[in-house]
Amino acid sequence: MKHILMSHGAGGWEMGELIRQVFVATYGPPDFQPDDCAFLKWEGSRLAFTIDSYVVDPLFFPGGDIGRLAVAGTVNDLLTAGARPLALSASFIIEEGFGVADLKRIAQSMAATAAEAGVALVTGDTKVVPRGAADRLFITTSGIGRVQGSGLSGAQVKPGDQLILTGPVGSHGLTVLLAREKLLEGEDLKSDVAPLADMILPLWDHQVPVHAMRDPTRGGLAAALNEIARQSQVGLELWEEEIPVPPGVAAACDALGLEVLNLANEGIMLIFVAPEGAFRALELVKSSPYGREARIIGRARDSFPGRVYLRTRLGTSRLLPFPSGELVPRIC
């Protein structure tokens, strides 16, 4: 590993290696976990803290824009930690010559998304770089949340846990890819990007026994589930026929040779819940507009620890590998 490749940012195996070899090797937390948040003790309670940069191209796409993405992505990361999102900060790196009207539109989109999620945008920063030094606009958002209960990690899944997927897969990654390549004309596709606080917070209010959550962004379901299988050392069994794929997404994946389970999503959540809480969790999630198509798509087992198996529509079983390679660049 001498130079950074596109695959180092794609959410797959190579990104994990970069993080381990450069950052974990330097900062050295002995118990490093690839979760989306850190926890800090604070006056007897716990605080979740997260950060993400957004470099999506194009900046505006059907269903959303970089501003909605930057707020929703950070809100959803806090939710995966079992935290109630409280406050966000946002930093803008802007290329000289960028249109102020576009910047205002993006700022308004961020404000609307934050209001929807019930979080405050409380502080920020702007930097301008000369023409050619950045591609139009990058946004970094950091978030703080109050941990409900003891907090969640991908390491807490137990054999027997049911796996809920809250909505159909693949639309965000595919929409952004096709919008960038100007192949969207006539397609009925849009990104699912959404802040999921209204769907997830009731799980805490009703004390549903949730063991882990993950929003399957870069690397899709395949990356998120492989990470959790390794962290928790359980085997994950997925039922392919239960995973909702919009017809337009399935058709485009077939035509382009893309694996839908590797595509990024920005408005769905994977929820691992103890069996006795599964029905209640599903009921609560389905009562949110973003969770209407939620269903149980698999379960955790004690066989094949660290692996993800897909039971196909044909009745066969196959390993779902950790994605690798470039996947789809700049989708978030």
Q: Which of residues 124-143 bind a copy of itself (CB under 8 A)?
A: 124-130, 132-135, 138, 140, 142
Q: How far is the CB of 328 from a copy of itself (least distance, A)?
A: 12
Q: Would you count residue 104 as binding a copy of itself (CB under 8 A)? A: yes
In whole angstroms, the minimum distance from the beta carbon of 170 to a copy of itself comes to 21
Secondary structure class of 64 (helix, strand, coil): strand
Please report how many Cα atoms fall inside a 13 Å half-sphere around the Cα of residue 12, on the Cβ side. 20
Asked whether position 91 contacts a copy of itself by CB under 8 A, the answer is yes
208 is written with which tokens?
Answer: 């549903």
CB-CB contact of 220 with 263 (8 Å)? yes
Q: Which stretch binds a copy of itself (CB under 8 A): 45-53, 150-158, 169-177, 236-244?
A: 45-53
Question: In angstroms, what is the minimal distance from the CB of 137 to a copy of itself?
Answer: 9
CB of 244 or CB of 329, closer to a copy of itself: 329
Q: Which of residues 56-85 bind a copy of itself (CB under 8 A)?
A: 57
Q: What is the largest CA-CA distance in the chain?
A: 57
Stretch that binds a copy of itself, among 100-108, 167-175, 208-216, 236-244 (CB under 8 A): 100-108
Write the DSSP string, 202-225. HHHHTT--EEEEE---TTHHHHHH
Burial of 2 per CB tally in 10 Å (0-12, 13-18, 19+): exposed
Does 113 sit near a copy of itself (CB under 8 A)? no
Q: Which of 60, 87, 151, 209 binds a copy of itself (CB under 8 A)?
A: 87
By CB under 8 A, residue 42 contacts a copy of itself: yes
Q: How far is the CB of 54 from a copy of itself (least distance, A)?
A: 8
Binding of residue 26 to a copy of itself (CB under 8 A): yes
- The answer to whether the CB of 172 falls within 8 A of the CB of 267 is yes
What is the Cα–Cα distance from 161 to 176, expressed in whole angstroms?
A: 33
Stretch that binds a copy of itself, among 93-101, 176-184, 296-304, 315-323 (CB under 8 A): 93-101
Question: For a copy of itself, which is the closer residue by CB, 47 or 261?
Answer: 47
Among residues 62, 244, 305, 329, the one that binds a copy of itself under rule CB under 8 A: 329
Residue 50: other Cβ atoms inside 10 A: 24
CB 296 within 8 A of CB 278: yes
Nearest partner of 163 among 218, 232, 219, judged by Cα? 232
Given 66, 72, 75, 90, the residue binding a copy of itself (CB under 8 A): 90
Neighbours of 320 (CB within 10 A): 20
Q: Which two tokens stand for residue 311?
A: 């039971």
Q: How far is the CB of 57 from a copy of itself (least distance, A)?
A: 8
